[in-house]
Amino acid sequence: MTSVVHKYSEKCQNHNFKDYCNTSEHSQAFVAPHLNGPVVGAELHKESYSKEKIKTINVALVLCLNMEIDPPDVQKIPPYSRVEAWVDPADAGYRVVEMIGKNLQSQYERWQPKGCYRQCLDPNLDEVKKICVNMRRNARSDRILFHYNGHGVPRPTENGEIWVFNRTFTKYIPLSLFDLQRWLGGPSVYVIDCQNAGRVLKLYDYFCKRRQGETANAVGEGSNVGGQNPEGAQHEQNTF
C-alpha cells in the first residue's frame, strides 16, 4: 500500500493531528475556539452544612385531605392516583384519614423511631399554630420536620399561602408561609405534598430573605437604643 502526499501539504498548526493536511482547505470547524479551549462545566451549587450535629426529633404531620369533597380548582380526570400513604380511600371506610395518618407516621418511624410525632388531621388554622408553637418550644435548638399534605384543599396561591379548614369544616382558610416560618422558627425541614408545590418553594425563599432583613434591622435598632436587642430578635437571628 502506498501513501499519497499532496504537493502543498504541510503540518497542521491548528490541532494535534500527526498527519499532514492542506491548510488552504482546512475546515473552520476544527479551529473553533470552543473546540481548542479547555472544557469547563457549569458551576454546581454547594450546600453549606454545619459541623454541629442537629437532632430531628419533633415531626408534625399536617394532613388536609377532606376525602369526601374534591378541591374546587382541581379537576380529577380518570384514571388518577388515589392512594395516600399506601392507603386506598375506597377500601378504608369512614376512618380513612386516621389510617393515612397512622401509615405516614409508621413510615417516618422507620427513619426516626424515637421521634415525637404529632398528627394534625384536617385541621383549622388555630390547631396548626398551636402545634407549631408548642413543637418549637419543646425542640429548642433542634430541628423540626413539618410534613404538609394538601391533596384535599386548593392549590397554593401566588401570594405564598397554603390552605387549611375553618372550625366548622365548611370553608378553606389560607395559611401564609410567612406566618408558618414565624411559628416553626429554625432549624426546620418542610415537606410540601400538594398540587403546584413549586409555588411554595419560590415564595419560601423570598419570605426567608425578607425575615432575615427584618431581623437584621431589628437587631441594628436594638443595638443603637440601650445596647440591647429587642425581645425575640436574637431568636429570629438564629432562625434561618
Give the CATH number, domain containing residue 83. 3.40.50
User: What is the separation, in whole angstroms, between the first and last Cα of the chain?
Assistant: 74
User: How many angstroms separate the CA atoms of 199 and 73, rounded?
Assistant: 15
* Residue 32 domain-assigned (yes or no): no
Residue 6 confidence (pLDDT) = 47
Does 14 reside within a domain? no
DSSP state of 226: T
Q: Tell me which of 100-104, 116-120, 165-169, 227-231 is least confident.
A: 227-231
Residue 67 placed within a domain = yes
Q: How many domains does the chain have?
A: 1
- Residue 199 near residue 167, CB atoms below 8 Å: no
* Identity of the residue numbered 121: L
Average pLDDT over residues 42-71: 77
Q: Is 224 exposed, middle or buried (0-12, 13-18, 19+ CB in 10 A)?
A: exposed
Q: Is residue 202 part of a domain?
A: yes
The answer on pLDDT for 228 being more than 50 is no
Residue 6 placed within a domain: no
C-alpha distances out from residue 189 to 16, 115, 134, Å? 53, 14, 16
pLDDT tens-digit series, residues 117-158: 999 999 999 999 999 999 999 988 889 999 999 988 999 988
Average pLDDT over residues 87-114: 87
State the residue range of the domain holding 160.
Answer: 58-215
Give the pTM. 0.68
Residue 234 within a domain: no
Task: State residue 223's pLDDT score.
Answer: 54
**Assigned domain for 2 exists:** no
**For residue 47, is it within any domain?**
no
